[in-house]
A and B are shown apart, each in its own frame.
Chain A
């Protein structure tokens, strides 16, 4: 790893100047020059110089080295969300490429600093990761490599079971409010003080309704005695508190959980983050940094970044197009009640109120939104038509993907569905003492897509390794409510009377 050459350092200063001039605001950014081997290493470690030992990083490294060697792909840029921001440049890239990467990186750094979903991340994660590595190594020295490594495997298989909203919630009260047991009291409407009308009482307070309310209150009280009191999405945190773990296991699980939460915002804002960075490399390069003789090389590199395969969404491309669309709309005032209600095609095309609010709007958007809300709010019918989106489905007979429809609603729905909960299923911990036998009960909130069954089974196996008692999950398979249970020796799949619903 090397610091920048004099020439590159000058370029950095130049581009940083342009970025500041446009109003980007970022942590101090430090560039390191690395060769492709180092780049693969750092990329395998997800941008960090040190991670805990695990074969999964070796697998990533293997894959990346191969695809680099065979020229299948090249890692252009790598930047991590820390303060100062570290970014890596690939040695031997052309100067245009380096400029492009630097411009791109300033977009990311600005995004890291200002997007609210990053506001709770630990900006000194470089140290954090190094500490985690030391702790895991120490456990390996004491417990044996295989033992710790296979436990990490188990933790990895659960690391998507976290609660994206947890960082924004107040830390839970660890103490219970002391309170006397109050008798259940259902409020009755009094039929006025006038005792003459007491015959109305049964009509104003129907006994069935009162009885129903009482039952509900009892159920709620019952539920409050359970662990967890209400269904909980932070399974990793839940296990940390309630599973019978050895101290070293608890430490490892805690490390995996902390890192999962650290990476979470990046998965929630992939389109926005890449789109923002692409918007800015394009802006900085084409209006400032580019020299005449670099134009062709820049155009080639830039078009590679935003190239779109026919059946996959390129987050760089969608992101940048959306930001540009927003900027244009807010410049011309294409928003608000009047705009929404106008259905004269010509008027809409010619609409221009010369508001010039575009720039401030996109800066606001990059601060407040995540991918789901971004698409939900700004993916409009016109945008969809102009960019010729479609949905595709697999043709069962030929096994090929075929264009299904160009209907706006359907496209948007599919996109949102893919992005919601960053494409992961919603899994809740429902009961830690299921059937009063210390079994763990999970539930899958079915949103139209089934779980992948073979993976679900293996994940249950891993969970039993931690929970040390049978674990079940309620889910829906091909429209039938099912329960999958693993008791330590065999997997059972049984029918359920009804699909699980979030109370």
Chain B
């Protein structure tokens, strides 16, 4: 039988999920969710879940405290209640923050956008087993004998038996003293999917444009992660030249200079060739730019790279074009003209943050 509190708890989670779904578009377009990201969960500020009452506003921010200091000194902002809080008295006025796992979030996103589950291709073996030594036991092969633990046991036995003489510290382990390392088999999912993000960081990509890229890639990441265990991510930035970078760099760098998109595509193709064999890997590539490429020749080079290398290798190639005040936005037109209704290439235009939801749907609705 399920206990009563479990039922109440489940009801609470249902309400939380309902609220997230209702407000998904708002949550998606605002970046604050990413700021609260933990390792596997995000906490979402949810003011509506609080019960409204006639209460005092905190328009004065006043209170009484205790301790040293002169008027004007800042008061420490440490949280944490000293006393053991008693039930029902923790009515803070802070907005309620609810924690949701990334998997749950992905599920909500999937349901709301009607995203199909992805059918992986390539390698069938999803999981391998890895052994890890975690403890001790009394039987085992001699090769795994733990000397230190064994002698400790022996010493203990001898002391308790009274046969230990500190002046002649001779310890002789017997059969019962022996300890062996023991292991546990841990299934370790084998990474078999990779997302390669590429971003244009040329002078025309402003902070707002990067913010859009950041939010959108967070959601794409969340969704794909829920589909593949242990997915890998790689990041490439480019202006006139391209280089692979760490995640933090990817989202924070701003460079100036011209734009040669082909440099990123070439880098991406190299990366795939070097590390990710398309026969075993599910490869997702996303490129974000303002669509202002250097020259017609370079665009032609891009199309050639896409057609010959990138599209055949990947499950899907996504191109997202953010609008910038400087760019011409020509690139997306060139791509559409060149590829027409090629299914593996998905393009999407993201004018403002409000378009992020639709863009995500565009990218992921194919279920590849």
Chain A complexes with chain B: yes
- Which of the residues B7, B65, B77 comes within 8 Å of A53, measured between beta carbons? B7
Task: List the B residue with the shortest CB-CB distance to A108.
Answer: B86
Asked if B135 is at the interface (CB within 8 A of a chain A CB), the reply is no
Asked if A404 is at the interface (CB within 8 A of a chain B CB), the reply is yes
- Say yes or no: A53-B53 contact (C-beta < 8 A), given A73-B85, A392-B65, A394-B61: no
Asked if A495 is at the interface (CB within 8 A of a chain B CB), the reply is no
- Say yes or no: A402-B55 contact (C-beta < 8 A), given A46-B87, A310-B65: no
Asked if B143 is at the interface (CB within 8 A of a chain A CB), the reply is no
Asked if B52 is at the interface (CB within 8 A of a chain A CB), the reply is yes
Q: Determine the distance from Cα of A27 to Cα of B315 in the docked complex, in whole angstroms.
A: 72
- Say yes or no: A55-B11 contact (C-beta < 8 A), given A263-B88, A310-B75, A402-B73: yes
For A60, list chain B residues within 8 Å (CB). Answer: 87-88
B87–A78 CB distance below 8 A: yes
Q: Determine the distance from Cα of A393 to Cα of B52 in the docked complex, in whole angstroms.
A: 25
Interface string of B34-72 (1 = CB under 8 A from A): 000000000000000101111111111111111111111
A44–B64 CB distance below 8 A: no
Q: Determine the distance from Cα of A259 to Cα of B152 in the docked complex, in whole angstroms.
A: 60
Shortest Cβ distance from B227 into chain A, in angstroms? Answer: 27
Asked if A373 is at the interface (CB within 8 A of a chain B CB), the reply is no
B86–A78 CB distance below 8 A: yes
Interface string of B1-18 (1 = CB under 8 A from A): 001110111111111000
Asked if A76 is at the interface (CB within 8 A of a chain B CB), the reply is yes
For B52, list chain A residues within 8 Å (CB). Answer: 157, 454-459, 462
B84–A305 CB distance below 8 A: yes
A45–B75 CB distance below 8 A: no
Asked if B74 is at the interface (CB within 8 A of a chain A CB), the reply is yes
A401–B61 CB distance below 8 A: yes
Asked if B162 is at the interface (CB within 8 A of a chain A CB), the reply is no
Shortest Cβ distance from B88 into chain A, in angstroms? Answer: 4
A156–B51 CB distance below 8 A: yes
**Interface size of B in residues (CB-CB distance below 8 Å):** 56
For A54, list chain B residues within 8 Å (CB). Answer: 8, 11
Q: Interface segment, A187-195, A339-347, A445-453?
A: A445-453
- Which of the residues B5, B13, B61, B96 comes within 8 Å of A41, measured between beta carbons? B5
Q: Is the interface of A mostly helix, strand, loop or mixed?
A: mixed
A158–B74 CB distance below 8 A: no
A309–B64 CB distance below 8 A: no
Interface string of A248-284 (1 = CB under 8 A from B): 0000000000000001001100100010000000000
Interface string of B88-108 (1 = CB under 8 A from A): 111001001001000000000
- Say yes or no: A316-B8 contact (C-beta < 8 A), given A389-B66, A452-B57: no
A414–B82 CB distance below 8 A: no
B54–A425 CB distance below 8 A: yes
For A314, list chain B residues within 8 Å (CB). Answer: 81-83
Asked if B80 is at the interface (CB within 8 A of a chain A CB), the reply is yes
For B54, list chain A residues within 8 Å (CB). Answer: 160-161, 424-425, 427, 444, 451, 455-456, 459, 473
- Say yes or no: A390-B64 contact (C-beta < 8 A), given A308-B82, A400-B74, A451-B55: yes
- Say yes or no: A403-B87 contact (C-beta < 8 A), given A57-B8, A411-B64: no
Shortest Cβ distance from A478 into chain B, in angstroms? Answer: 8
Asked if B76 is at the interface (CB within 8 A of a chain A CB), the reply is yes
- Which of the residues A58, A160, A405 comes within 8 Å of B53, measured between beta carbons? A160
Asked if B248 is at the interface (CB within 8 A of a chain A CB), the reply is no
Task: List the B residue with the shortest CB-CB distance to A453.
Answer: B57
B66–A388 CB distance below 8 A: yes
Asked if A418 is at the interface (CB within 8 A of a chain B CB), the reply is yes
Asked if B78 is at the interface (CB within 8 A of a chain A CB), the reply is yes
For A159, list chain B residues within 8 Å (CB). Answer: 53
Q: Determine the distance from Cα of A274 to Cα of B15 in the docked complex, in whole angstroms.
A: 35
Ranked nearest first, the 8 interchain pairs of A and B with the lowest CB-CB distance are A394-B61, A307-B82, A58-B12, A458-B52, A58-B8, A452-B57, A58-B9, A76-B84
**A contact residues vs B (CB 8 Å cutoff):** 40-47, 50-51, 53-63, 66, 72-78, 149, 153, 156-161, 263, 266-267, 270, 274, 304-317, 387-395, 398, 400-406, 411, 414-415, 418, 423-425, 427, 444, 449-459, 462, 473, 478
14 A–B contact pairs at CB < 8 A?
A: A51-B4, A53-B8, A58-B12, A62-B9, A63-B90, A149-B11, A266-B89, A305-B82, A317-B83, A390-B71, A405-B71, A427-B54, A452-B93, A458-B52
Q: A394-B62, A400-B75 are in contact. List 11 more A-B contacts (CB 8 A).
A: A46-B88, A56-B51, A58-B7, A314-B82, A391-B62, A392-B62, A401-B61, A424-B54, A450-B59, A451-B54, A473-B54
